[in-house]
Structure 1
Amino acid sequence: MTKLLYQTDSYLKEFQATVQALDEEAHAVILDQTAFYPGGGGQVADKGMLKVDGQEFPLVRAKHGPNGVLHIVEADHALPAVGSTVTGVLDWDLRYKNMRTHTAMHILCGTIYRDFGAHVTGGDMEPLKGRMDFEFESMTHELVDVIDAAVNKEVAAARDIRVAILPREEAFQIPDLIRTKISLLPGGIKEVRTVEIVGLDLQADGGTHVHNTSEVGRMHVVDYKSKGKINKRIYVELDE
C-alpha cells in the first residue's frame, strides 16, 4: 500500500518515490509513497506532475485503488517502468485552496455544533467554496448573519490546527468524534487520524488542512436552502 505523506505534512509540495506497480487499464502508476491527496470526504483530488529521468508526466488526478493510490497520467504518455525513481510535484495553488476550504468547513461545522448543537448531515466542497447540511428546523437571513460573524471570529482567533494519528480504541474514547460517524469505519482500520482546531473542533478526518485558522481568510456565508423538515444547507465561499 502507498504511504500517505500528506497525512502528517499537508505542506509538502514535492516528494521522491519509487514506482511499485502499474495499472495499465487506468493508465496509472502506484508509488511506494505519495503527497498527492486522492480525494474523499468531500475534498477533491490533487493534480500535478510526475518527473522521471528528465521526462514530465502530467497527473490527471490521484485516486484510491485496491492496492494503493493510483496516479493517473495523461494517456499520450507511456507509463514509467516499475522500480523507477519519481519526483512528484503538486499543483500547489490547487492544493492550498483545498486546504483552506477544508479547514473552513471544519470551522463552520465546529462553530454551529458549539453554538447551536446542530449535527452535520452532509457536505461537499471545491476550491474556495463548499456547502454543509445541518439538523436545523428553520433557517433565516438573520441566523445566517449570526453564523457568518461567528465563523469569521474563529478565523481571526488564529487557532492552531493539530493532526494526530491514534489507535482506534483510543479514538473511540473521544466523545465528539461520534458525530463524524466514526463507528462506521471498517473494522480493519486500526488507526484513526484526527484533526483538531484547538479550542473549537475535533474530528476524525483524512483530508489536508492549513496550520492555523488565520490562513483560511475571510469566510462568506452566501446562501442557504431547506433540504427537508430538519435539514438546512449552508453555502460558504472564501476570498482568493
Structure 2
Amino acid sequence: MRMMLYFEDPYRTEADTSVVRSGTDDRGPYVVLAEPLFYPQGGGQKGDRGRLRLAGGLVLDVVGTRKAEDEIRHYLAAGQEPPAPGPARQELDWPFRYHQMRLHSAAHFLHVALEREIGASLPYPVRAPLSETGGECHYAFAGRFGPDQLERAVKAANAHTAQGHPIVTRTDEERGPGMRSWHCAGDTVACGGLHPRDSSEVGDITASMRIKRGKTLVSFALAHP
C-alpha cells in the first residue's frame, strides 16, 4: 500500500519520492508519486500545490492535486511536460496548506458550537467547500438556527479554540475502510481532511449566514489568515 505522507505528518513540507508514471487528462499534465506528500482535494479542502524538483535541476509546478481512477494525480502548470519515471523532491506551498488546515478545523468548531447553542445535534453539512480565503458550510435545512444564534456560536467557538485544545485526526474503521475522524476536547466529526495540532492555531473565526432554496449556507473565514 502506498504511504500517504500527508496523513503521516501534515506539518511536513518536503520529502523525497519518485515519479511512478505521468500522463495528461482533461485537467492537464500530471504525475503520480510513490509516496505523496500533497493532499488530494476532498471533503471541501483544496488539493495541495507546490513544486517537484527532478534530476538535472528541472523544477515542475504542481498547481493542484486530485484523486482520479484510484490514484493521486499531481497536476502541472500548463505547458509543462510530464516527466519520465525517476526520483523527485516534493516541496509544498506551506502557507496555502496551513491556511486550508486551519479553515477545515474552523468548519468543525463552528458546527459543534452551533449544536451547543441550539441544544440539539445537527446533520453534517452536505458540502463544505473551501476557497483560498474562506469556506461555506451547506446545511440541507432551513430554520434550525438564525443569525443571532450563529453570532453566539461564533463567540463560543472563538473562546473555546483560544484555550488551546489538542486536535487529533485518526482512522475510524468502525465507519468503514479508510474512514477518518476529527477529535478535539470530547467532540468528534467524521472527516478525512488535514488539521492543525492545536485549536489555538485556528485563530478567531468570522461567519455569516443566508438561506437559499431551503438550505442554510454559513460562510466563514479566519480573522487573521
TM-score bracket for the superposition, by shorter chain length: 0.7 to 0.9
Quote the Cα distance in structure 1 between the aligned partners of 2:136 and 2:79. Answer: 36
Quote the Cα distance in structure 1 between the aligned partners of 2:123 and 2:199. Answer: 21
Q: Which runs of 4+ in 1 moved over 3 A?
A: 133-136, 138-141
Quote the Cα distance in structure 2 between the aligned partners of 1:73 and 1:2. Answer: 21
Paired residue secondary structure (2:99): helix
CA contact (8 A) 2:64 2:76 kept: yes
Paired residue secondary structure (1:146): helix
Stretches of structure 1 lacking an aligned partner (at least 5 in a row):
173-188
CA 1:236–1:24: 2 relative to 1, 3 Å = closer
Quote the Cα distance in structure 1 between the aligned partners of 2:165 and 2:137. Answer: 21
Question: Which residue pairs with 1:204 in the alignment?
Answer: 190
Corresponding letter in the other structure for 1:39: Q
Question: Which residue pairs with 2:205 in the alignment?
Answer: 219
Of residues 109, 123, 130 in structure 2, which corresponds to 1:119? 123
The correspondence of residues 89-238 of structure 1 with structure 2, limited to 5 A, is 89-116=91-118, 117=120, 118-122=122-126, 123-134=128-139, 135-137=141-143, 139-166=145-172, 168=173, 171-172=174-175, 190-199=177-186, 201-221=187-207, 223-229=208-214, 231-238=215-222
CA displacement at 1:71 relative to structure 2: 1.1
Corresponding letter in the other structure for 2:185: V
Quote the Cα distance in structure 2 between the aligned partners of 1:140 and 1:63. Answer: 35
CA 1:165–1:120: 2 relative to 1, 3 Å = closer
Corresponding letter in the other structure for 1:89: E
Corresponding letter in the other structure for 2:115: Y
Corresponding letter in the other structure for 1:210: P
Q: Which is bigger in relative contact order (C-alpha 8 A, separation at least 6)?
A: 1
1:146-182: per-residue Cα shift (whole Å, max 9, x none)? 112111112112111112124x3xx24xxxxxxxxxx
Corresponding letter in the other structure for 2:192: G
Quote the Cα distance in structure 2 between the aligned partners of 1:191 and 1:4. Answer: 12
Question: Which residue pairs with 2:19 in the alignment?
Answer: 19
Of residues 44, 58, 65 in structure 2, which corresponds to 1:62? 65
Quote the Cα distance in structure 1 between the aligned partners of 2:167 and 2:147. Answer: 30
CA displacement at 1:89 relative to structure 2: 0.4
What's the TM-score, normalizing by structure 2?
A: 0.87
What's the TM-score, normalizing by structure 1?
A: 0.82
Stretches of structure 2 lacking an aligned partner (at least 5 in a row):
none
Quote the Cα distance in structure 2 between the aligned partners of 1:205 and 1:138. Answer: 23
CA contact (8 A) 2:10 2:195 kept: yes
State the identity as a percent. Answer: 25
Question: Which residue pairs with 1:179 in the alignment?
Answer: none
Could you tell which deviates more after superposition, 38-47 or 24-33?
24-33
